[in-house]
Amino acid sequence: MSPSSRPDDRLASVFRFATELVAWIATPWALASRSVPLAVLSVVVLIGLPTLLSTPGDKRNVIVAVPGPVTIALVLVQLAAAVVAAWVAWPAFAAVPVTVLAAITVVLELPRWRWLASR
C-alpha cells in the first residue's frame, strides 16, 4: 500500500458502525431522563455531523470537506459517547461489551487514522 492510498477498512467499518449504532441508542437513552431536547440533540449531532463533515477520499460523497484529524475526532466522539452512555444508562453486563467493542474499534481504526492524519 502506498502512503497515499486509503487502507482497506472493511472490518474496521463494521466495528465502527456497530459502535456508532450503540452511541445513537445509548446516548439519548442516558440523557432522556435529564432532558428530552438534549437527548434529541445528541442524536442529531451524532448522526448529523459525520454525515455532513467528511474527509475527501474517505467517503464517496463529501458534503463539507474537512481535514482528516476532524474525521478522527468525530469517530472518537462516537466511541466516547457509546462507552460513557452505556455505563450511565445500562447495567455493567451491557456496558462491558460496549467498552470492549469500542476498544476493538480503536485498534482496527488505527491504519485508517494514520492515513486520515496525513490528509
For the stretch 75-106, pLDDT in tens is: 999 999 999 999 999 999 999 999 999 999 99
Strand, coil or helix: 64: strand
> What cell does 24 get?
445513537
The C-alpha atoms of residue 108 and residue 15 are separated, in whole angstroms, by 8
Say if residue 3's pLDDT is above 90.
Answer: no
The pLDDT score that the predictor gives to residue 6 is 87
* C-alpha 3: how far from chain center: 24
Burial of 83 (0-12, 13-18, 19+ CB in 10 A): buried
**pTM flag (> 0.85):** yes
Per-residue pLDDT, averaged over 52-68, amounts to: 95
